[in-house]
Amino acid sequence: MKITIYKTFIVLLLAALFPFLAQAQNQSEINANTTKENVQDSTKLDSKGKKHETETFFEKLIDYVEFRNKADKQEDSTRFRSKFVISPVLSYKPETSWGFGIGAKWLFKFKNATQDTRTSNMPISALYTLKKQIVISSGYTVFFNHENWMLKGNIGYSNFPQQYYGIGNNTATKNEEIFEYNNILIEPLLLKRIVGNFFLGGGIRYNNIWKMEYDEDGLLEQEKPLGYDGSISAGLEIAATYDNRDNVLNALHGSLYEFRHAFYGKQLGGVPFDLTKVDLRHYFLLSKKREGVLALQGYGYFSDGRTPLGELAALGGSELMRGYYKGRFLENNMLAAQMEYRFSVFEPIGMVVFAGAGEVYHQVSDLRLNDIKVAYGAGLRLKIVKSENLNIRFDVAKGEKFNFYFGIAEAF
């Protein structure tokens, strides 16, 4: 079995790190508490004798596109000031090339929310790319008072040319062809706090892919996988979440353990299949001085039944397995893991280094160590909203080839 040294090292390192999450939790929380004390000490008094954090140049710049309601403009240090930020959006990833558009982000808390309620985040963006794609999307998380309830989900529309290489973990690059489709995704989930930071609930998921266009003599036409001419997935979804991250946009410490299972049927014109997703994330604050954070993620995607093309596990993208085109490898199931070390160089500049490994497969017996795909890279960060730890990111990743990614917020 021929495996390169760097591939073996990355795979073994990722596998070795995850069993120690629980053991390092206490130290991570101790470091996080110390950092919070340092942040409080660094605040300055204004002319009225009240404490406030010093704004960066970029935060002051954002004030010009930030809107607040009248009540939030009043001086009240106990009240969270809701923010509505609207600005031009510029992004790059290999699937879309350069994208230009407009984005809005609403950061808020409900009236009378206390310190035990994290900031709700409702973003929306509209992009047009150089590959003639239209992408409108929102991935939101809303915390009700005291976090007794949480609403999270996705909604979006896209008109999207995409590359297709066939189905499997070893498809050849020479198979590449382009197909286009329209897509609407609606996925709201309502979860109830059961105990501590554990939430349980469910919702619906509706994913409609239509107006498929592809080469008449191309690979897609020859193979005719289920859903090659469009598909509808509509069904019920159950979810369980443990989430004690300090910040959902860019955590310094804490964990997110998420399980989702969806049942799809023929009632709304779809095909019958089940889909399970497991997302395990943990964040360790390793350096108080540099705000050095080790971020780990393990991800599983498992489908069973007559899974259509648009619902197959897709390896690659700007969030998981950077360095591979999203959908470069397609199959019913996928296992992947990644780690990233984030640290501050000097305010507001930061850097990251990352590595990942993953594989798609049809059934467990198909898994092969020498078939695992690996990726690694580094990136720069520019902090634009200090209070929410929100960054612009620029990543360069090596997977099947070198790719770079430019956008807002962390990969995970």
Q: What is the average pLDDT across 320-333?
A: 95
Neighbour tally for 370: CB within 10 Å: 10
Position 31 scores a pLDDT of 43
Q: How far is CA 227 from CA 58, 128, 211, in A?
A: 46, 26, 11
Burial class (CB in 10 A: 0-12, 13-18, 19+), 25: middle
Position 11 scores a pLDDT of 53
Residue 65, pLDDT above cutoff 60: no
Q: What is the average pLDDT across 57-75?
A: 52
Q: Domains for the chain: give ranges and CATH numbers.
A: 5-408 (2.40.160.50)
Mean of all residue pLDDT scores within the chain: 83
Position 149 scores a pLDDT of 94
Residue 51, pLDDT above cutoff 50: no
Q: What percent of the chain has pLDDT over 70?
A: 80
pLDDT in tens, 195-237: 999 999 999 999 999 999 998 888 999 999 999 999 999 999 9
Of residues 13 and 380, more confidently modeled: 380
Which residues, in sequence order, are CB contacts of 80 under 8 Å at separation 6+? 108, 109, 113, 119
What single string gives the DSSP state of each residue in 19-38? GGHHHHHHHHHHHHHHHHHH
Position 232 scores a pLDDT of 92
Residue 14, pLDDT above cutoff 60: no
- Residue 242 tokens, joined: 């443990």
Of residues 8 and 236, more confidently modeled: 236
Residue 177, pLDDT above cutoff 70: yes
Residue type present at position 81: R
- Residue 383 tokens, joined: 């902090």
Q: Whole-model pTM? A: 0.80
Separation CA 191–CA 364 (nearest Å)? 32
pLDDT in tens, 258-295: 999 999 987 766 788 999 999 999 999 998 888 899 99
How far out from the chain centre does Cα 178 lie? 25
Separation CA 195–CA 57 (nearest Å)? 41
Lowest mean pLDDT among 13-17, 266-270, 325-329: 13-17
What single string gives the DSSP state of each residue in 262-327? EEE-STTS---EEEEEEEEEEEEEEETTTTEEEEEEEEEEEEEES--GGGSEEE-SSSSSTTS-TT
Position 61 scores a pLDDT of 55
Residue 18, pLDDT above cutoff 80: no
Lowest mean pLDDT among 49-63, 101-115, 264-278: 49-63
Separation CA 397–CA 270 (nearest Å)? 37
Which value, to the nearest 10 degrees, does the dihedral of the CA atoms of residues 215, 221, 225, 229 take?
Answer: 60
DSSP helix/strand/coil, 114: coil
pLDDT band of 23, cuts 50, 70, 90: very low
Separation CA 284–CA 299 (nearest Å)? 18
Residue 63, pLDDT above cutoff 70: no
User: For residue 68, is it left (φ>0), alpha (ψ between -120 and 50) or beta?
Assistant: beta
* Contact yes or no for 74/48 (Cβ under 8 A): no
pLDDT in tens, 113-160: 888 888 888 888 899 998 888 999 998 999 998 899 999 999 999 998
Helix%, strand%, coil% for the chain, nearest 5: 15, 50, 30
Which residues are paired to 346 by β-bridges?
349
